[in-house]
Chain A
Amino acid sequence: MLEVQNLSVRYGAITALHGISLSVPADGIVTLIGGNGAGKTTTLRAISGMVRPASGRIVFDGRDITGLPPHEIVRLGLAHSPEGRLVFANLTVMENLRMGAYLQRDARWIASELEHVFSMFPRLKERLAQPAGTLSGGEQQMLAIGRALMSRPRFLMLDEPSLGIAPLLVKEIFARLVELNRERSLPILLVEQNAHLALEVSTHGYVLETGRVLLSDRSEVLRDSPQVRGAYLGG
């Protein structure tokens, strides 16, 4: 579904990604793990067109999307829920969700997507008229994911959905993501610092370090790898 080949990204003089390659199969959940500054977020930002790669190719569903502007990439069905729960704090929950369906004009279609989001995260329905800035951290993350789903994406990228959220809510959110992947056969590319959790829900994993792919394998293999255990799973 998504192929990244030899991707390099530079921020001025600093090279953030030194030619990484990865692939996400059509029904998989693939996770990128690694410490701070490993290049996880940069990888997602390059795929969704927010930063321009210095070299390399990104192929989505057989189409080369390298260097396309973000709004055209979203149009192709690739949704990105950015790091840090970037909800529109001054807009209401409903307005946030509607922004997610920005490229969609059909009202019935939007209504059915809204129903789907509410069935996933019933809490959001209770908070519809509230400005998103007043939600709790976990609710904002639900909103950010729900908003990404409103475009009915064919591919979902999530950046640190567990960051700063109560453990119980994290569990709930991840359970929903797995359901989503199974029921809608939606491929997910997940960036996580919580390597333990990420390797539990994913099918494949990539370990990044200073802009390079250090290891990649099936998630259960990575979970048992002494290298990963030592560095990311706390022994």
Chain B
Amino acid sequence: MAIPKAQRWLLVALVLSGAASAVSGSIDPYFLDVVMGVGVGVVLASSLNLINGFTGQFSLGHAGFMAVGAYTSAMLSTVVAPRMGWGAGALQWVFFPASLVAGGLVAALAGLAVGAPSLRLKGDYLAIVTLGFGEIIRVVLQNVDAVGGARGLTGVPTHTNLLWTFGTASLTVYTVWALLESTRGRGFLAVADDEVAAEAMGLDTTRYKITAFGIGSFFAGVAGGLYAHLKGYLNPGGFSFEKSIEIVVMVILGGMGRHAGVVFAAILLTLLPEGLRELGSRSIPNPFGGPAWSLDWIKDARMILYSLLLILLMLLRPEGLFHRRQPRRPSS
């Protein structure tokens, strides 16, 4: 049977995350930060993959839901936990995951609030609504003093470690996978393939879309919580439209609705800017003697290179890196 095998994989991933976490003290902090960023990226990309990839909707507001989760769990850690004395010692091990789940739930509620009225919209219209939502969240956060306003929210305890990031990443990938493999799971793909036909088969297409949206937003919120407790500092500017686009790019590059492809793209796109930064600090020995050639220009051109690489990848593999299924027929 396939399912117990998948659960075994999940277990292995969780144990590995725990083991890695136990030895994380001896890992270079900068490297650790990058690696945990990768984990957060995987959560974001996999959850958006459920909405944009498998269910065929086009959400541009994932950073907004991430922000809702990030601020919710960060406020719980900075305001509620110290007052109740939950922030330290063993209780932290209970309170932190609880705050992540709380952030996820609030994000899911926001997702349902946005999704329920707007998921009857299709394609571009849904993209515009979710884009608007993401911007509203950002502007509100920027102007509410209680969460730091434009100055940002500081002093968030850095509870996030390898166990939490990769534990959550594994759980997200597993949940999305299990949902798709469940008895009713093909319904998500059917909605993406052809909504009219899905409706004619007796599928409640709106319910499928809302389910995908709710679960996707939940994990975006959890990713936000992880991010908040990773950086220790939140700034509304970090949850801008560009962040949403970045996640959409991961999903498209991974091949819309490929589990492994999207995970791979999330890893690649999180590492790439860091790798280019690293490369920029090196230099190549000059074969003609004289001073070594500095690669400093890469530092400045980092984002240009990043964009060029994306353009190249999309030109060479428009169906995504890992796409195996038949390319969609052009719709008549």
Contact = CB atoms under 8 A, between A and B. Distances in A.
Interface string A62-100: 000000011100110001111010111111000100111
A50 to B, nearest CB: 6
B202 A82 contact: no
A121 to B, nearest CB: 18
Given A99-B187, A133-B328, A74 B200 contact: yes
A162 interface: no
A147 B201 CA distance: 8
Contacts of B325: 90, 131
A89 B192 CA distance: 10
A151 B326 contact: no
B227 to A, nearest CB: 33
A48 B196 CA distance: 11
A109 interface: no
Contacts, number: 78
A154 to B, nearest CB: 13
Interface size class, chain A: 20 to 34
B197 interface: yes
Nearest to A104: B202
Interface string B275-288: 00000000000000
Nearest to A76: B202
A118 interface: no
A11 interface: no
A102 B202 contact: yes
Given A84-B332, A134-B326, A90 B204 contact: no
B296 interface: no
Interface string B102-136: 00000000000000000000000000000000000
A105 B183 CA distance: 9
Contact of A69 (B190, B204, B326): B204
Residue from A80, A91, A99 having most chain B Cβ neighbours under 10 A:
A99
Interface string B188-228: 01101110111111111000000000000000000000000
B151 interface: no
Contacts of B329: 89, 133
A80 B202 CA distance: 9
Nearest to A44: B200
Nearest to B193: A88
26 contacts: A70-B199, A70-B202, A71-B202, A71-B204, A74-B200, A74-B202, A79-B200, A80-B200, A81-B200, A86-B196, A87-B194, A88-B189, A89-B193, A90-B189, A90-B328, A91-B186, A91-B189, A95-B186, A95-B189, A98-B186, A99-B203, A103-B202, A105-B183, A131-B325, A133-B328, A144-B197
